[in-house]
Chains A and B, each alone.
Chain A
Amino acid sequence: MVIDTDQTPSDLALQDHIKRAGSLAAMGAALVSAAGCSDEQLGPPTDEEAARFLGQAGLGASTAGIESVMQLGYGPWLDQQFAMPLSESLWRWAQAKGFQVPAYKASDMGMDHALWYRLINSPDVLRQRVALALSEIFVVSVRNMPVPWGQFGCIAYWELLEAECFGNFRTLLERVALSPAMGVYLSMRGSRKEDATGREPDENFAREILQLFTIGLVQLNDNGTPKLNALGQTTDTYSSSDIKGLARVFTGWDFDRFDEATPDYLNRPMVFSAEAHSQKEKTFLGTAIGAGTPGQQAFKQALDTIFQHPNVPPFISRQLIQRLVTSNPSPDYVARVAAVFKDNGQGVRGDMKAVIRAVLMDGETRIGLSPVPLQLMGKLREPVLRFLQWARAVKVSSSDGLWNVGDLSGPDRLGQSPLRSASVFNFFRPGYAPPNTVLAEQGAVAPEFQITDESTVIGYANFMFRVLPFGGANVNVSYSDWLPLARDPAALVDKINLLFTGRSLSEQTLSSLTEAVGTIGVIDDQGAFRRVVSAMLIVLCCPEFLIQR
């Protein structure tokens, strides 16, 4: 490991870890075989380690959150988060807030309200973070939900992800497949068997469940790298005929008791009708489901086959690492997590809790023991997560209880908003690399840069500039925790640095920021307020915050 002479406080903390843990070689050996580091190996987290951890495992760091992680340790904190009960039903919340009215039946009104309410307030931050990550893999979007009460379908979909994200992947996959929102979004609902007029089953869901949700386009090694033949070529995972075979499986499913008078039909899993189901043989992925097999059985068999595909562990593990931790994990890191996906240690495949724990506790991220070149490390924080870090730190509240934060996906806002992707390909692809960059030349990726351009970077900065002081639309902010710090610019800046970046700001940035903030007079609360918002805005726009490591 190259010791950088120009070190930040957090780099020194990493080295402290290594000193405390023993030799590099011993640590390395332990990591290669272990499914993540133990709390004993890591020792109790410092405040900045805790903040950094919360930026990966939660929706940002808070004073209370940091204290909790420091007190409990990483493992017990995760246990506590895994055990948290589900929060109140968002569906019922949206009904209670008056979104189930005829005026909103054909609009998307209510979804953003419910999701921001949840994301800004809910204490089960790990669950929310993982649900958000899963919503970017198993994409559903209100932007293409042209059914009555579509927004409620999306709310139900979020609750589905909340309910299943700590369960088993196989169950998650089945619930997603039978979700009416997904049935609409990828048009599986109402797909019927072939008929004499030449009509064929809808291929949409069959293709995307393979390409985007489970196995991807090419055969993978356990470490997530593509398998290459002797000529250095990849091997496709499926062909058009696999899609056609699988499309036959996904026939006969539709809404359970559709009645447009209420959204309830979007809160019930899709149901099966044998009459609409293809009776033909279905061959795909090297499996054949015999002609005439009952449809519900065929459905389960198909999902079982997909679930057992060797691609699933690395395909999903690598993306979870990208969503939570870093854009370019080493292949070994991916392999360690994929191994846990394959078998959680008790012979169970697809144990999401074990996989999430493996992602967050791996030495590559907890200690920073990584073969990845420093230059290629890190990830660009998603705009939604930047916003939530701030919103939670300033105790955003809603005076009318409606949480009208709104659709933030426009380029004049965050450029991203939950369940508002333009297509099933999410706001950004896991394999995206901006052309003509050193990252691309090195074969590395930077997914979040797919929504980073001349229009959105200014849009984000301007949006935060506008909302920071007073919020808007009955969504209020409170700087009461921060104002007392304003008289000591260094302390104020340190607190923002700790919470927002895990103390990643350079010495130069810290001193320039402290100095600039100090030029604002603090004769009164107005001055203190201006110091706080100015310091926060600068950090929120600063590359040292934007790039999370």
Chain B
Amino acid sequence: MLGSAAPWALNLSAMAQAAAATTAADDYKALVCVFLQGGNDHANTLIPVDAGSHARYATARGSLALPLSSLQATALSPTQVLPDGRQMALAPALASLKPLFDGGKLATLLNIGPLLQPTTLAQFNNRSVPLPPKLFSHNDQQSVWQSYHQEGPNPGWGGRLGDLFMSGNTKAAFTCVNLGGNAVYLSGDQAIPYVMDPLGPSPLLAADGQMYGSPECSRLLAKLVTQTTSPYAMAQMHTQVMQRAVDAQVELSAALGKATTLTTAFTPGNRLAAQLKMVARMISARATLGLKRQVFFVTLGGFDLHDNLSIQHPVLLGQVADALKSFMDATTELGVADRVTTFTASDFGRTLSSNGDGSDHGWGSYHFVMGGAVQGGRFYGQLPDAGLLGPQDVSRGCLLPTMAVDQLAASLAGWMGVSATDQRSLIAPQLAAFDGAVLANLFAAPLPSAPPVPV
């Protein structure tokens, strides 16, 4: 259950433990979770292009299938060749990510999803092994990806990373930053996500001393919204959020104001790009805020394409590619490309077969990991069958995963500097059940100048 009853509001001054202030200013790492809400259609994200596999894919997908001719330009040549002459292409809408893949900055994870232990189809069908809860339910699977639990007030593994690294951050309230909207991912046992708008924090206007011309009323409002004697827990919870908001806005506005303006372009009207632009700005302000380790959460919605998939999916993937490319460029501009790792996640993959003009809820999916420290240009994990009725086909081509979220979480945590012990106990509870070799090489060896981070 929940750990010690840490107060929900963290007083910023209480958190200002200036630990590790004397280490090199560039000993910084950030993890960015890009959550695609609704269940991204994995089968049209990464598509088979060797003739035999494509034919099986096309048969399974019917009207949803992307034609072979459209996939030539984005066909991938990974450094580790896929078995059995298999070849995969990025969706055409993801074309701008191909140079990142070719340049070794983008890796692909094959058939990843929540699992409690390696599971065969027979075991799934017989329910003879423990399975993740509430499969195929949107809100629960978002929560399972983020916290290993169905919907509920459970800590997310991103928040648990925050717990481990907070004490090394001066302005620790900004350890976990959420620009994507309410989610458990960044809630830890102590770490509380700071939720912010991509445009940046606003001050509480009425509390600025003016407020319709009455300084007394302005003062009273400022007091009443941040303190209460009400016996209702909800009243106190609300004042605590407001106190955090007010304190953080002051700190953050100053820090963002001081940071150098980025020149990298982020496309207007792209919600994900707007969030990642602010992530980049936050990263540019890390020295002012004394931050060594941060975890960010951003989202893009609209992926639940039960219908209209052929039209809408490329639009969404285009926004993802555009935003990720800009973000990669921004981290390069900031000189932190190898200190920022970004990964995608989603409720679930989808069915391979069509319902006419869309696909339905699935399970295993394909996801990306991007960053200068990533050993990209290759696939990690087991490529599933291209068509229906393969060994991973739960139903209609919905995939039984062969890689667990735990494995990804542990690998990312290890890169951040989390010990193997803490990976197992805090970040990836089922890790021991899975093969550690699968993602062992996801990251290049640590940079020689980075000191080991104490945890």
Give chain A interface residues in 496-510, CB to chain B under 8 Å: 506, 508-509
Segment touching A, from B86-94, B194-202, B405-413, B439-447: B194-202
Contacts of B8 in A (CB 8 A): 434, 436-437
Are the CB atoms of A541 and B221 closer together than 8 Å? Answer: yes
Does A537 belong to the interface (CB within 8 Å)?
yes
CB neighbours of B63 from chain A (8 A): 199
The contact of A538 among B153, B221, B233, B308, by CB within 8 Å, is B221
In the assembled complex, 14 residue pairs joining A and B whose CB atoms fall closer than 8 Å, in A order, are A146-B312, A187-B306, A236-B134, A243-B136, A244-B395, A374-B232, A435-B154, A446-B234, A454-B241, A454-B248, A455-B201, A534-B214, A543-B228, A544-B228
Q: Pick from B182, B213, B219, B232: contact of A549, CB below 8 A.
A: B232
A375-B231, A538-B217 known; A437+B153 contact, CB < 8 A: yes
- CA distance in complex: A4, B360 (Å): 54
The distance in angstroms between the C-alpha atoms of A274 and B154, with both chains bound, is 47
**Taking the nearest CB of chain A, how far is it from the CB of B133, in angstroms?**
9
Q: Does A348 contact B (CB under 8 A)?
A: no
Whether A31 is near chain B, meaning CB under 8 Å from some CB there, is no
Q: A412 near B197 (CB under 8 angstroms)?
A: yes
- Does the CB pair B206–A537 fall under 8 Å? yes
The verdict on B230 contacting chain A, using a C-beta distance below 8 Å, is yes
Cα distance A450–B178 in the bound complex, in angstroms: 13
Tell me which residues across on chain B come within 8 A of A199, comparing CB atoms: 62-63, 353-356
A535 to chain B, nearest CB (A): 8
Task: Select one of B181, B194, B358 contacting A187, CB under 8 A.
Answer: B358
Is the CB–CB distance between B212 and A537 below 8 Å? yes
A207 within 8 A of B: yes
Residues B196 and A454 in contact, CB atoms below 8 Å apart = yes
Among residues 417 to 455 in chain A, which have CB atoms less than 8 Å away from a CB atom of chain B? 422-423, 425, 429, 431-441, 444, 446, 449-455
Task: Say yes or no: is A14 at the interface (Cβ < 8 Å to chain B).
Answer: no
**A144, B302: Cβ atoms under 8 Å?**
yes
Q: Is A431 a contact partner of B202 (Cβ separation < 8 A)? A: no
Report if A542 contacts B (CB, 8 A). yes
Q: B306 touching A462 by the CB < 8 A rule? A: no
Interface range on chain B (Cβ under 8 Å from partner): 35 or more
Check B242–A457 contact: CB distance below 8 A: yes
Closest A residue to B200 by beta carbon equals: A455
* Contact B357 A190, beta carbon cutoff 8 Å: yes
Among B37, B232, B307, contact of A375 (Cβ-Cβ < 8 Å): B232
Query: Among residues 343 to 376 in chain A, which have CB atoms less than 8 Å away from a CB atom of chain B?
Result: 374-376
Instruction: Determine whether the beta carbon of A434 is less than 8 Å from that of B304.
Output: no
Residue-wise interface mask of B (184-197) relative to A, using a CB-CB cutoff of 8 A (1 in contact, 0 not):
10010110101111
Assembly CA distance A411 to B198 (angstroms):
10
6 smallest A-B Cβ distances: which pairs? A453-B195, A440-B153, A454-B245, A204-B306, A543-B235, A435-B187
A189 to chain B: closest residue by CB: B307
Chain A residues whose CB sits within 8 angstroms of the CB of B421 once the complex forms: none
A-side contacts of B139, CB under 8 Å: 425, 429
Q: Which residues of B contact A411 (CB under 8 A)?
A: 197
Interface presence of B424 (CB below 8 A): no
Between B62, B237, B308, the greatest number of chain A beta carbons within 10 A of the residue's beta carbon is seen for B237
Closest A residue to B234 by beta carbon equals: A547
Asked whether, in the complex, the Cβ of B217 is within 8 Å of the Cβ of A517, the reply is yes
- A441–B201 CA distance with the chains assembled, in angstroms: 30
Instruction: Determine whether B122 belongs to the interface, using a CB cutoff of 8 Å to chain A.
Output: no
Q: Which A residues lie within 8 Å of B258 (CB)?
A: none
Q: Which residues of A contact B (CB under 8 A)?
A: 4, 144, 146, 186-187, 190-192, 197-204, 207, 211, 217, 236, 240, 243-244, 327, 374-380, 411-412, 422-423, 425, 429, 431-441, 444, 446, 449-459, 461-462, 465-466, 469, 506, 508-509, 512-513, 515-517, 519-520, 530, 533-534, 537-538, 541-544, 546-547, 549
The CA-CA distance from A457 to B2 in the complex, in Å, is 25
Alpha-carbon distance A201/B395, docked complex (angstroms)? 13
Given A198-B396, A435-B184: 12 more A-B contacts, CB < 8 Å:
A191-B356, A198-B59, A207-B136, A217-B140, A377-B232, A380-B238, A440-B2, A451-B182, A461-B205, A537-B212, A543-B224, A543-B239
* B78 lies within 8 A of chain A by Cβ: no
In the complex, are the beta carbons of A217 and B134 less than 8 A apart? yes
Which residues from A are CB-within-8-Å of B197?
A: 411-412, 455, 459
B449 CB to nearest chain A CB (Å): 35
Q: Is the CB of B201 within 8 A of A4?
A: no
Partner among A144, A204, A435, A542 whose Cβ is within 8 Å of the Cβ of B155: A435
Q: Mark B49-62, 1 if CB is under 8 A from A, else 0.
A: 00000000001101
Contacts of B48 in A (CB 8 A): none
Q: Are A438 and B201 touching (Cβ within 8 A)?
A: no
What is the CA–CA distance of A191 and B308 in the complex, to the nearest angstrom? 12
Contact A462 B204 (CB under 8 A): yes
Please tell me if the beta carbons of A436 and B232 are within 8 angstroms of each other in the complex: no
- Find chain A residues with CB under 8 A from B213 CB: 520, 530
Q: Which residue of A lies closest to B138 (CB)?
A: A425
Residues of B with C-beta under 8 A to A380:
234, 238
Q: How far is the CA of A460 from the CA of B335 in the complex (A)?
A: 38
A85 to B8 alpha-carbon distance, docked (Å): 47
**Chain A CB within 8 A of B254 CB:** no
Contacting residues, chain B, for A519 (C-beta < 8 A): 214, 216-217
With A187-B358, A203-B306, A240-B395 as contacts: A516 and B235 at CB distance below 8 Å: no
